[in-house]
């Protein structure tokens, strides 16, 4: 019976079994997609596989819904609820999409080949090979910006991938349990329970907000002897947090953080990172030490090694160190058969999921039109146009902020009602019914039982 129920659910959820999909057609052009994030998946969802063979290369065999990743660091949402296997996504295509869980290590635009390396710990007899493409879609995202500062990779936690959220969670609980260890020195308790977040962009702000909720709702209840010792500090080099939001929402966020006892140090730049303390240049240009237990580093993006390698190969056309330059049709300058979308590009838009998604959808329509033009139809390829749908961020205590375009103007709202809106937007933007179901279940679970405080 259980098997029948399972199969029934699969029948409803799965539209097409892989064996029922058309195989690769040697007469069709092959599009190789690098990545399985926002840009790649929105492209994959829309590309017409009747026209092309499609192959995906990514070290992650799943899509990650990054906007809810900060909620996973404290257990409001379970990690697997925001992951979607790439094969669940490609099952809907008419032609089988090949997926290789591997990292692309080099791109040769001359021979139109890429080098790929198996990323699994258990390797077969072949773990490095080359793959030919007719068109390449680069959607490899970006790396964490460290400014080459020693100690950041060694001692801080980033917040970009699943394993980052797991690491933050483990370190946080380690700090709490060590602070409660027998005969712990008072100054060591203070250090261990001081959580420092570097970077007042949306990642740093949302993480500080989630951490605050976890401390207030759960840790202070389960660890009453430590309750008055927890501290959160957010360090930001600029004069305020969230520079992309309206001044009204910046003020609202900073006052909400003040009420929530999150200390915000603006005009303060981290200069050195050691295992137990950071050194910052404060607003008065003094070098000050800040001891920490947990350090979360969220200072933005920089190009990945693969992106830099490709840019170096075509350096006459790639003149920006900040990412790949593309034209209005997402074609890589200096490499005509390569397209790039999302965070790996350098464009006039902020590196967001919203931009990557629209670029992925646009590129799929370009490929559709290219196929129709080849068949002799009269189709025109128009340039990419970004349509900004607004910015949202969670700021803690069931409050969110939203800057929304409205009748040629802008509406700035913040509060509990905005939080309900924030939740509904994210739920509706999830790529699958399965993810929506799991996330809503997690929200209910954490409301009813509280968050899990086990390591």
Regarding 37 and contact with ligand FAD (CB under 6 A), the answer is: yes
CA gap 92, 36 in Å, rounded: 16
Reduced to 3 states (helix: H, G, I; strand: E, B; else coil), residue 260 is: coil
CB closer to ligand FAD out of 71 and 96: 71
The region of 292-300, 372-380, 411-419, 430-438 touching ligand NAD under the rule CB under 6 A is: 292-300
The region of 133-141, 176-184, 348-356, 371-379 touching ligand NAD under the rule CB under 6 A is: 348-356
CB of 215 to ligand NAD, least distance (A): 21
CB of 42 to ligand NAD, least distance (A): 16
Considering only residues 188 to 217 of the shown chain, the ones binding ligand FAD according to CB under 6 A are 203
CB closer to ligand NAD out of 242 and 335: 242
DSSP string, 99-135: EEEEEEEEEETTTTEEEEEE-SSS--S--EEEEE-SE
Query: Given candidates 236, 277, 368, 442, which one binds ligand NAD under the rule CB under 6 A?
Result: 236
Report residue 30 as tokens.
């092959």
Please name which of 328, 324, 320, 319 lies closest in space to residue 342, comparing C-alpha atoms: 324
The label of the residue with tokens 């879609």 reads 137
Please name which of 55, 77, 56, 57 lies closest in space to residue 66, comparing C-alpha atoms: 77
CB of 56 to ligand FAD, least distance (A): 9
Regarding 293 and contact with ligand FAD (CB under 6 A), the answer is: no
Query: Given candidates 40, 235, 333, 400, which one binds ligand NAD under the rule CB under 6 A?
Result: 235
Residue nearest to ligand NAD (CB): 201
CB closer to ligand FAD out of 35 and 334: 35
**121 neighbors 47 (Cβ within 8 angstroms):** no
CB of 276 to ligand FAD, least distance (A): 25
User: For the chain, how many helices (H) and strands (E)?
Assistant: 14, 21
Regarding 160 and contact with ligand FAD (CB under 6 A), the answer is: yes
Considering only residues 165 to 204 of the shown chain, the ones binding ligand NAD according to CB under 6 A are 198-204
CA gap 241, 243 in Å, rounded: 6
Please name which of 6, 49, 3 lies closest in space to residue 25, comparing C-alpha atoms: 49
β-strand pairing of 128-132 with 113-118: antiparallel
The region of 59-67, 213-221, 402-410, 433-441 touching ligand FAD under the rule CB under 6 A is: 59-67
Regarding 401 and contact with ligand NAD (CB under 6 A), the answer is: no
Q: List, edge to edge, every strand of the sheet that includes 269-273.
A: 269-273, 277-281, 287-291
Phi, psi of 302 (to 5 degrees): -145, 160
Phi, psi of 393 (to 5 degrees): -155, 145
Query: Given candidates 351, 360, 396, 414, which one binds ligand NAD under the rule CB under 6 A?
Result: 351
Among ligand NAD, ligand FAD, none, what binds residue 198 when CB lies within 5 to 8 Å by partner kind? ligand NAD
CB of 350 to ligand NAD, least distance (A): 4
CB closer to ligand FAD out of 37 and 293: 37
Regarding 141 and contact with ligand FAD (CB under 6 A), the answer is: yes
Q: Which residues pair with 108 in a beta bridge?
A: 113
User: E-strand spans in 274-310?
Assistant: 277-281, 287-291, 294-297, 301-302
Cα→Cα distances 39→243, 358, 364, Å: 24, 8, 11
Among ligand NAD, ligand FAD, none, what binds residue 60 when CB lies within 5 to 8 Å by partner kind? ligand FAD
The region of 30-38, 174-182, 220-228, 365-373 touching ligand FAD under the rule CB under 6 A is: 30-38
The region of 121-129, 256-264, 345-353, 362-370 touching ligand FAD under the rule CB under 6 A is: 345-353
The region of 7-15, 41-49, 85-93, 238-246 touching ligand NAD under the rule CB under 6 A is: 238-246
Q: Which residues pair with 116 in a beta bridge?
A: 104, 129
Please name which of 98, 107, 101, 149 lies closest in space to residue 127, comparing C-alpha atoms: 101
CB closer to ligand NAD out of 74 and 114: 74
**Which helix (H) or strand (E) segment is 360 a member of?**
helix 353-374
Reduced to 3 states (helix: H, G, I; strand: E, B; else coil), residue 353 is: helix
**131 neighbors 55 (Cβ within 8 angstroms):** yes
- Residues of the shown chain interacting with ligand FAD in the complex, contacts defined by CB under 6 A: 34-40, 57-60, 66-67, 69-70, 103-104, 139-141, 159-160, 203, 304, 306, 342-344, 351-354, 356
- Residues of the shown chain interacting with ligand NAD in the complex, contacts defined by CB under 6 A: 67, 198-204, 206, 235-238, 243-244, 269-270, 298-301, 350-352, 391-393
């Amino acid at each position: 019976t259980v098997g029948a129920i399972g199969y029934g659910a699969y029948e409803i959820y799965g539209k097409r079994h892989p064996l029922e999909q058309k195989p690769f057609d040697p007469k069709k052009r092959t599009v190789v997609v690098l990545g399985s994030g926002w840009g790649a998946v929105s492209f994959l969802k829309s590309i017409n596989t009747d026209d092309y063979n499609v192959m995906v290369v990514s070290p992650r065999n799943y899509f990650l819904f990054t906007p809810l990743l900060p909620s996973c660091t404290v257990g409001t949402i379970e990690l697997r609820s925001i992951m979607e296997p790439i094969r669940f996504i490609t099952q809907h295509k008419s032609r089988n999409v090949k997926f290789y869980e591997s990292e692309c290590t080099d791109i040769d635009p001359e021979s139109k080949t890429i080098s790929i390396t198996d990323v699994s710990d258990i390797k077969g007899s072949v773990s490095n090979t080359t793959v030919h493409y007719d068109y390449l879609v680069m959607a490899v995202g970006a790396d964490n910006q460290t400014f080459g500062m020693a100690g950041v990779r060694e001692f801080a936690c980033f917040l970009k991938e699943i394993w980052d959220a797991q690491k933050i969670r483990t370190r946080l609980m380690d700090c709490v349990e060590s602070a409660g260890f027998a005969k712990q020195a008072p100054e060591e308790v203070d250090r261990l329970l001081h959580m420092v977040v570097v970077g007042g962009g949306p990642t740093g702000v949302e993480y500080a907000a989630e951490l605050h909720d976890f401390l207030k709702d759960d840790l202070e209840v389960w660890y009453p002897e430590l309750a008055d010792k927890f501290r959160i500090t957010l360090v930001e080099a600029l004069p305020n947090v969230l520079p992309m939001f309206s001044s009204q929402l910046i003020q609202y966020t900073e006052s909400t953080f003040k009420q929530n006892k999150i200390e915000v140090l603006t005009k303060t730049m981290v200069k050195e990172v050691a295992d137990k303390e950071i050194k910052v240049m404060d607003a008065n240009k003094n070098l000050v030490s800040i001891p920490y237990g947990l350090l979360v580093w969220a200072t933005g993006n920089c190009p990945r090694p693969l992106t830099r390698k490709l840019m170096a190969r075509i350096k006459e056309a790639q003149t920006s160190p900040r990412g790949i330059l593309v034209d209005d049709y997402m074609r890589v300058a200096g490499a005509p058969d390569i397209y790039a979308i999302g965070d790996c590009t350098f464009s006039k838009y902020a590196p967001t999921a919203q931009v990557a998604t629209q670029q992925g959808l646009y590129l799929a329509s370009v490929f559709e039109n290219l196929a129709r033009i080849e068949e002799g139809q009269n189709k025109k390829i128009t340039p990419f146009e970004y349509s900004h749908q607004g910015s949202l961020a969670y700021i803690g205590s069931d409050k969110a902020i939203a800057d929304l375009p409205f009748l040629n103007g802008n509406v700035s709202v913040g509060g509990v009602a905005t939080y309900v809106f924030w939740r509904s937007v994210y739920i509706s933007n999830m790529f699958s019914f399965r993810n929506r179901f799991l996330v809503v279940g997690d929200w209910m679970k954490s409301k009813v039982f509280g968050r899990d405080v086990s390591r």
